[in-house]
Amino acid sequence: MKIPPHARITASRQQLSSPLDGATVIAGLNAGHYYEVNEVGARVWELVQTPVAAGDVERTIAAEYEVAPERCAADVLAFLTRMAAERLIEIEDA
């Protein structure tokens, strides 16, 4: 699945999450799995709690962390794609 920059991303209602020592633990209720994400993943998760464009997530992460924009875009897209596959996020206008 290719997520375009204009696609609106939001956290699924079928999950629970909690911060834990700089990381975040997410319980995907649809799949019945738990996921732990690092600091950057936790920031992405925080950003998708309200509807946000995928491109805005990429730009925010690139601005807040020392990472090249191209690398950031690829990494954020891969992370969002994995989250979508696990049904942790919902994508509109994909």
Specify the pLDDT at position 1.
74
Residue 13: pLDDT over 60: yes
Residue with the larger pLDDT of the pair 94 and 28: 28
> Tens of pLDDT along 40-92?
999 999 999 999 999 999 999 999 999 999 999 999 999 999 999 989 999 99
Q: Please tell me the distance from the alpha carbon of residue 80 to that of residue 32, in angstroms, as a whole number.
A: 19
The pLDDT, as a whole number, for residue 38 is 92
DSSP-derived letter for residue 87 is T
Tell me, what's the pLDDT at 73? 93
DSSP structure string for 30-81: TTTEEEEE-HHHHHHHHHTTS-EEHHHHHHHHHHHTT--HHHHHHHHHHHHH
Task: Please report the pLDDT score of residue 94 as a whole number.
Answer: 55
Residue 93 DSSP label: -
The pLDDT value given to residue 44: 96
Please give the structure tokens belonging to residue 10. Answer: 């939001």
Domains of the chain: 8-92 (3.90.930.70)
User: What band does 19 get if pLDDT is binned at 50, 70 and 90?
Assistant: confident
CB proximity list for 68: less than 8 A, separation 6 or greater:
62
